[in-house]
Structure 1
Amino acid sequence: MPDNQGLYRNLSINKIEKIEQFDLDFSVDAAVIMDYFKNVKGERYIFINKDKSFKLIGIGHRATITHASIQPVYVETQFKEILSTAQYTGNGTIGDLKLFGGFQFDNNDSPNFHAFHKSHFVIPKLQFMEVDGKASLICVDQDIDITHLMHTLHHHTVSGVPVNQPQHVEDIDLDLFQMNAHEAIAMMRDDKLDKVVLSRKRKITMQQPINAQSFVQQALNNDEVSYFALIESGEQTFITKTPEQLVAVQDGVLQTNAIAGTIGKDVHNAASILLNDDKNLYEHNIVVRSIQADLAPFTENIQFNNEPDILENQYVYHLYTPIKAKLNRGGLLEVTESLHPTPALGGFPKQAAMTFLQQANEGRGLYGAPLGYVDLNDAGEFIVAIRSMIIDDNTAILYAGCGIVKSSVVESEVHETEIKFKPMLEMLGVI
């Protein structure tokens, strides 16, 4: 058994005293780290970007910053206060320590996410990070034999994951999804709404408790251009494999993108059809215009192309427009709150769509929510947690959504969500 018992000590949320950073002479392997620290299950997280050039793995909870509502300013203030007197040693800077977590989609009740707060962030005891092949380890108030730990990790063999089989598959509230879609279309025909994004759920019960270890290995081996993120909170684990970035900030430059408009790759000439489809182009343009408006109070010199590109994923194509701007006021967490949800996950007009969703009784929790990291330099990245599932013991609840506009056909939207379930079903071994 790994010698990591010290990571179980529950420290109160007081100020951090000591941060030590060490260079690693081997690549960060998230599957190895998760397996080695399997006895710390419930206090681990992973974030891997699209091209796998950035990996972040947190082990143990040195501090959690949580709130019963969505409060980005509170989270930022607490983070800075906890680190305000910390002593740093190492080859990097104190800014290399990341605060990881997210905000739930909205403040509505989400019973399927009972282990997560509306604002839920973690400062780990151990943070492994790899940037463009350069790996490091940060220890936060931990006295650990680093030489021994690095040697053991470097030679650790991942244990096998037992074969697990589905026992029961159940669509949850499909009738509610269809009813909400018909109601939304009727409102659009009365010009009360331009677009709303609805979601649906599927419950998968497996024969044995679900081990996320296999999902991590799949994410590392898969060439699909998607983010992978995993966060544990006690007995629950949330996983997303998403193509969608919400916002990133580095050296005062903000990057985001509009992703809206989808077609299955099983359609002949799918990419060409999508680029010329009025319904999807209209839906995409709504997202671009909304992001412009949300960024205006925080940025200047917003740049984007007038025509969308194609973003390819394993099962679908999306319309895609990168957006860049200079951040001149506010912080990353404030901008995240302002952008969320884009019309790609909420709707347009934004307030009217959110009012509709408040009454739709979907209980999204972290589905479609901002998930990511920020540092003391206000740099970081948040993704939109679509293509996701929440795991509790042997049960996984999968989430998928689709944009409803006036020309939508409800049966087609149901089919679109079926396609979007596939990445999570594949992870579970159901397909």
Structure 2
Amino acid sequence: MTSVMLQTPTSDALAEFLTQGREIAIQSNKPVLTSFSHRLHDDIDCLSLFANIGKSNGYRAFWGRPAQDFWLVGKGNAAGLVFNGSQAMDEAVQAYRSLLENALIEAPDIPGTGPVCMGGFRFDPQAPKDADWSDFSDAGMVLPQFLFTRSVSAFWLTVNAIIESDTDVAMRAKELVTELQNLDTDPLDGNYQPEIKKVTQDYLPQYCEYVRSALRNIEEGLLAKVVLARRKILYAEEPFSIDSAIKQLTTNYPDCVIFAFDNGKSIFFGATPESLASVSNGILNLTCLAGSTARGATPEEDYEFERQLFESQKERWEHNAVVATVTESLQDLCRELNWDSELNVLKLRNVQHLLTSVTANLHSGNNISDVVKKLHPTPAVAGVPTSEAMSFIRQNEGDRGWYAAPVGCIDHMGGGEFVVAIRSALLLDKRAILYAGAGIVKGSDPEQEFQETELKFQPILSALHGRNNVI
């Protein structure tokens, strides 16, 4: 694929649209969001587009569902909805709704077009904040200045801009179009990662003691389940390449959601198999994922591992606890709530999970943000009871940042998608902090839980694994 110049809207056409926005700003006496979507007749690779956007400073975001050929690439910051504190999620959602009140929007009825906010939330706003996560707020949703969307085999560009009563719309339109025309669309070459010189982590004895502490709490009836995560930190000779990592994850994990949020200083990214919730036209879909085992080296061994997973009382209890809590939490928001009557299995490259799909119709007035607020944190990433599990994690594990938290996107129609940010890592230039967790219940074996986390590290380890690296 060769470099192409984007067939952008003309500056005159964009200026005409922005002029309408300025008229609204004058009448309402406050700034107005303008959001203009334009069909692009270009064959553009979203991975290369994301990589080329990274050549300049500023915010960029990536969201991909390879199996569905659905991609979002955000560039720049038209509006940053950044909040901290226990009410951060509510404040971010309210700020987005306020943006939409007098907004001028021209967009097709296609998911991922129009004024789509991208970002996420901190796993636990009550936990003491780790310095490594200083660039990521408790709630950080961004309305990109430019949003590129590939959906239903079509490519769209959305231009978002805040217009005030005295904005020079002709100049603003010219600046926006010029920036788009200067955007490089060269193909992404190579799969380079720097050499890793050191690895530090929570080793087996440390993690096993952590698990035994949780098991004592379970025996005493203080907890029924708690999810314990551990970190693995990679130190490289040069900065890690997020572009190469995303490319490899997209190839190796097409059934996952591949995401990245780059604020110019640090990057949070991952390939998660776990959807927290998606909403389109008032219909809610989500998956419950809990209970795990390895993939087999042969088809026969793989089937045997699957059989053991289905027959394990411990894994089934862990999974059923998630399904019960999630469906109970949704009762007030939905009608016609349905879920699979039989367990399914999701097979990924190196691990397989028990899976239950849930569907429902949202009551009028509810949207994706209401669902996210109701569900997070699920027992799949926190535990049972939720409050006690969160307290245990807070006291023993520290700050997870955005790991295992909701990340995703929300649109102006109340739809969108959020996933649980597992199989993820934080990139800090030459340092990468990887996270992986395991659910601890009565009967859990500390060493087996440690090995489960090792399996869950593999997707990100592989993506950051340079040719000469030995991890």
TM-score scaled by structure 2?
0.83
Q: Which residue identity lines up with residue 151 of structure 2 in the other structure?
A: V
* 2-structure distance, mates of 1:285, 1:15: 49
Give the % identical residues. Answer: 27
Whether 1:18 aligns to 2:30 is no
Q: Equivalences for 1:11-410 in 2 at 5 Å? A: 15-49=31-65, 51-69=67-85, 70-89=87-106, 96-107=114-125, 108-111=127-130, 112-141=132-161, 143=173, 156-160=186-190, 162-172=192-202, 176-266=206-296, 268=301, 269-328=304-363, 330-410=366-446
SS of structure 1 residue aligned to 2:418: strand
Structure 1 window deviating more from structure 2 (372-381 vs 104-113): it is 104-113
Distance 1:95 1:129, change over 3 A: closer
SS of structure 1 residue aligned to 2:145: strand
Distance 1:311 1:90, change over 3 A: closer
Distance 1:398 1:42, change over 3 A: farther
Structure 1 window deviating more from structure 2 (164-173 vs 203-212): it is 164-173
Q: Verify the 8 A CA contact 2:48 2:187 in the aligned structure 1.
A: yes
Distance 1:52 1:305, change over 3 A: closer
Cα root mean square deviation, aligned: 2.7
Q: Verify the 8 A CA contact 1:224 1:314 in the aligned structure 2.
A: no
* 2-structure distance, mates of 1:145, 1:66: 26
Distance 1:278 1:367, change over 3 A: same
Matched with 1:9 is none
Q: Which residue identity lines up with residue 276 of structure 2 in the other structure?
A: L
* 1-structure distance, mates of 2:84, 2:180: 38
Matched with 1:417 is 453
Looking at CA atoms only, which structure, 1 or 2, has the larger radius of gyration?
2
* 1-structure distance, mates of 2:327, 2:193: 47
Uncovered stretches (5+) of structure 1, i.e. residues with no partner:
5-13
CA displacement, residues 68-89 of structure 1 (integer Å, 9 cap, x when unaligned): 1253322122112223333334
Matched with 2:13 is none
SS of structure 2 residue aligned to 1:261: strand
Number of residue pairs aligned between Structure 1 and Structure 2:
422
SS of structure 1 residue aligned to 2:67: coil
Uncovered stretches (5+) of structure 2, i.e. residues with no partner:
7-29, 162-171
CA displacement, residues 151-171 of structure 1 (integer Å, 9 cap, x when unaligned): 876962335565511110111
Structure 1 window deviating more from structure 2 (346-355 vs 325-334): it is 325-334
Structure 1 window deviating more from structure 2 (205-214 vs 314-323): it is 205-214
CA displacement, residues 184-213 of structure 1 (integer Å, 9 cap, x when unaligned): 111212222111101000000011011211
SS of structure 1 residue aligned to 2:76: strand
Structure 1 window deviating more from structure 2 (83-92 vs 197-206): it is 83-92
* 2-structure distance, mates of 1:415, 1:90: 48
Displacement after TM superposition at 1:266 (Å)? 3.3
Q: Verify the 8 A CA contact 1:24 1:150 in the aligned structure 2.
A: no
SS of structure 2 residue aligned to 1:58: strand
CA displacement, residues 15-51 of structure 1 (integer Å, 9 cap, x when unaligned): 4443221111134422221232223344100011252
Q: Which residue identity lines up with residue 140 of structure 2 in the other structure?
A: H
